[in-house]
Amino acid sequence: MNEAEAELYAKLREFKLDDPIAPYPMSAKLAWEYHWSEIYTLRAMYEYKKYIFLAAIAEGMVSPSSVIDCVWHYHLLYTCSYWEELCGKILKKSLHHYPGDSGTSQRYDYTIELYQSYFGSPPADIWDFPPFHSNHLDRHQRYWQIPNPIYWVKKYLSLSLFHHSSERKEEIKR
């Protein structure tokens, strides 16, 4: 890490993602939304800062893990923190978020190589190995939705009625 990179990384480490004037801190919203523990949320936010560093110094485009992408999406919602503080004062340039395209896998490999050259091995629970986007899988969801409950109710009732009607037919025969 050269002197300019070390200075940038030091500024990013000191940068507070939880905006003190925001009614709800970003860390609390992330933890609530994704059912992350406080420690995991803080680790994800710390890794996000490393990703921002890599995005700022990389010669090519880099691609985040699914966890880092979640943090980035939330940070974009805190517009003053993201655009004025991070991009304007620390990075001194805009850092735009582009949804994934066909080059994402190659960029992700490049991102991991770059990460390893600056920080060593990335934590596997935050940086997906292999890249696996689990945004749609929620093992801790608050409820489970049955696609067509009326179908199952009717099916259960019809089986139940069928069962009872066949018992009655047997009783009538006796």
Residue 162 domain flag: yes
Q: Which two tokens stand for residue 89?
A: 């004062």
Q: What is the pLDDT of residues 146-171, one digit of tens each?
A: 555 555 555 555 555 555 555 555 55
Coil vs helix vs strand at 151: helix
Residue 133 domain flag: no
Residue 79 domain flag: yes
- Residue 119, pLDDT > 90, answer yes
Q: What percent of the chain has pLDDT over 90?
A: 25
91 is in which domain, residue-wise? 3-119
Predicted pLDDT at 138: 54
- Residue 21, pLDDT > 70, answer yes
Predicted pLDDT at 39: 92
Residue 100 domain flag: yes
> Are residues 103 and 53 part of one domain?
yes
| DSSP single-letter state for residue 70 | H
Q: Give per-residue burial for 120-143: e unless 16+ CB within 10 Å, then b.
A: eebeeebbbeebeeeeeeeeeeee
> Are residues 166 and 89 part of one domain?
no
> Are residues 112 and 162 part of one domain?
no
Q: Which two tokens stand for residue 91?
A: 């990075």
Q: Smallest Cα–Cα separation from 27: which of 68, 85, 65, 74?
A: 74
Q: What is the pTM assigned to this prediction?
A: 0.70
